[in-house]
Amino acid sequence: MGQGHPSLWPLLQQLWEFLSQRVFSESEKEGQRTLALSVARFTRNIVANVPSNQVHAFESEPFIRKLIHSATSWSVMQDSSSFACTRMMVQAMSNIVTANEQLLNAIWGTYTSLPDEQSILVRLLACPDAKIILSVLVFIMNCVHEDQQRCAALVRTPAGARICILILDRMVDLYDADENTEWAHAFDYGYHLFAHLFNNGFASELYTRLSVADEVISPHQTVLLKLLDSHLQSSHPHSIHKHLCVTLTATFFELSTYAQGSIARALGPPPPSGSEDDHAPRELDVLLPKVCEALVLVTQCLATMILHSEAVRIDNISNEDLQRDVNSFRDATGRYVVENIVELLRRLDAFLPRINFGKPVDSPYGGPQLPAAADPAGFVYLKRDLVRLLGVLCHNDRRVQDLVRTCGGIPVVMNMCVIDERNPYLREHAILAIRNLTADNVENQSVVNEIQPVQTST
């Protein structure tokens, strides 16, 4: 339909122009909405999978965009009866360009160059209706699907980065949505969109774009790390991008350095013996829990990538050795990753009491500790995942084994062979790390044998 009736398209365009430019009185608003809904439904259906019809209908895009802009104003969005019409217009717009490369390039070039106040995607992502959110995410996914240049525009342009930030905000809201609801479907589409960006190599660039000046980690970067961690653990990509490993290692150094400095300030200099404030932290950094939460995610991502790299290398699928790459990086002071891990574990053990049977246990290092009751969620799993990453990095690598020994890391890891309720399976990961540290390494075996177990209170 439409191909044999060329007079249809001027009439349809006139309808869209009339709806977008006519100023309707309050008494006419309901009629306008009904007409717009009908025209949008007709347009959506007539263009589906018909390239020639899509080209004709695309001439009405500026008018449809103007209508959507009006329909997403704050006052209109307070009226839920407007949602069906707005949703139908988004679906019509999506069908007009879907699978039509020429139109997709044109519309995406426009939408990723519009300022915030003119961007209908920015306004649509703020809508309170689940079906509208789902429709706009489907539209965005259709625009960037299997096209490197349009993915790049979503990440690299200011308008595209703004869209990514808004989607991340919505995904935080949608995380706890009940299964099989429109909200849950919207979350799935958002996840699928970012997974598509990850698979196309944009994780590092997007992470950098989400940074905030003078902040070690931004909330949106943390959300992105959660999505990346989930993606790496749930899928097995055929290629692991080396630049992502570089970015994650650099991020680890930055977060670890910040955490070590923050903990050092909290611990302060050793107090005089017998003083009343032996166990009172000097300074508590409100950003430290957020930094530690991000550290957990980064260490999990690195460990997952390294283990997968080893698996595909053994299967002769790839010769990429991410373990070797990570072990070769140094921070600004010249320290390797494992040296950072050892120092951070040492400070965490002095600062953060382990929990056994619901009660804090004194650290063998002594000093002031963070009270268990005040322990934020950001510290959960941190020691466990740091020990796990250390064990992964020293596996079958004599140089790294020796490096851990020379920086005093073996006693630190052995102190992790304990039960800690905020770090499930910490002991098991520490035992595995000791195994990897001592494998075919007589010097490390001697250090382990020389260390006598110390009885601690439980």
Q: 53 and 146: one domain?
A: yes
Q: Does any domain span residue 148?
A: yes
Q: Looking only at Cα atoms, what is the longest distance across the chain?
A: 95
Q: 267 and 369: one domain?
A: yes
Q: 40 and 152: one domain?
A: yes
Backbone angles phi, psi at 115, to 5 degrees: -70, 160
Q: Does any domain span residue 143?
A: yes
CA atoms of 395 and 438, how far apart (whole Å): 10
Q: 258 and 180: one domain?
A: no
Q: 89 and 19: one domain?
A: yes
Q: 162 and 249: one domain?
A: no
CATH for 123: 1.25.10.10
Residues found in the chain: 458
CA atoms of 454 and 458, how far apart (whole Å): 12
Q: Does any domain span residue 140?
A: yes
Contact 336, 403 (CB under 8 A): yes
Tally of structural domains, the chain:
2
CA atoms of 407 and 391, how far apart (whole Å): 15
| pLDDT at position 364 | 55
Contact 404, 342 (CB under 8 A): yes
| pLDDT at position 371 | 47
Q: Does any domain span residue 263?
A: yes
Q: What are the CB-based long-range contacts (under 8 Å, 24+) for 430-436?
A: 430/387, 432/388, 432/391, 433/387, 433/388, 433/390, 433/391, 433/394, 434/410, 435/391, 436/391, 436/392, 436/394, 436/395, 436/396, 436/401
Q: Does any domain span residue 221?
A: no
Q: 319 and 438: one domain?
A: yes
Q: 258 and 152: one domain?
A: no
CA atoms of 323 and 303, how far apart (whole Å): 9
The CA angle 111-115-118, to the nearest 5 degrees, is: 75
Q: 178 and 255: one domain?
A: no
Tens-binned pLDDT, residue by residue, of the chain (458 aa)? 555 556 899 999 999 999 998 766 666 778 888 999 999 999 999 999 999 999 999 999 999 999 999 999 998 899 999 999 999 999 999 999 999 999 999 999 999 999 999 999 999 999 999 999 999 999 999 999 999 999 999 999 999 999 999 999 999 999 988 988 999 999 999 999 999 999 999 999 999 999 999 999 999 999 999 999 999 988 766 556 678 999 999 999 999 999 999 999 988 776 665 555 555 556 678 899 999 999 999 999 999 999 988 887 776 666 678 999 999 999 999 999 999 999 999 999 988 877 664 556 665 555 555 544 444 567 889 999 999 999 999 999 999 999 999 999 999 999 999 988 889 999 999 999 999 999 999 999 999 999 866 555 44
Q: Does any domain span residue 441?
A: yes
Q: 145 and 267: one domain?
A: no
Contact 434, 414 (CB under 8 A): yes
The letter for the amino acid at 369 is: Q
| pLDDT at position 229 | 96
Among 154, 187, 220, the domain boundary falls at 187
| pLDDT at position 455 | 52
Contact 162, 122 (CB under 8 A): yes
Contact 451, 414 (CB under 8 A): yes
Contact 120, 107 (CB under 8 A): no
Q: 264 and 166: one domain?
A: no
Among 141, 156, 187, the domain boundary falls at 187
Task: For residue 140, give Cα distances in angstroms to 114, 136, 189.
Answer: 15, 6, 10
CA atoms within 13 A on the CB side of 449: 7
Contact 247, 202 (CB under 8 A): no
| pLDDT at position 292 | 96
| pLDDT at position 356 | 66
Q: 179 and 313: one domain?
A: no
Q: Does any domain span residue 198?
A: no
Domain coverage including residue 85 = 8-187
Q: Does any domain span residue 290?
A: yes
CA atoms of 33 and 19, how far apart (whole Å): 9
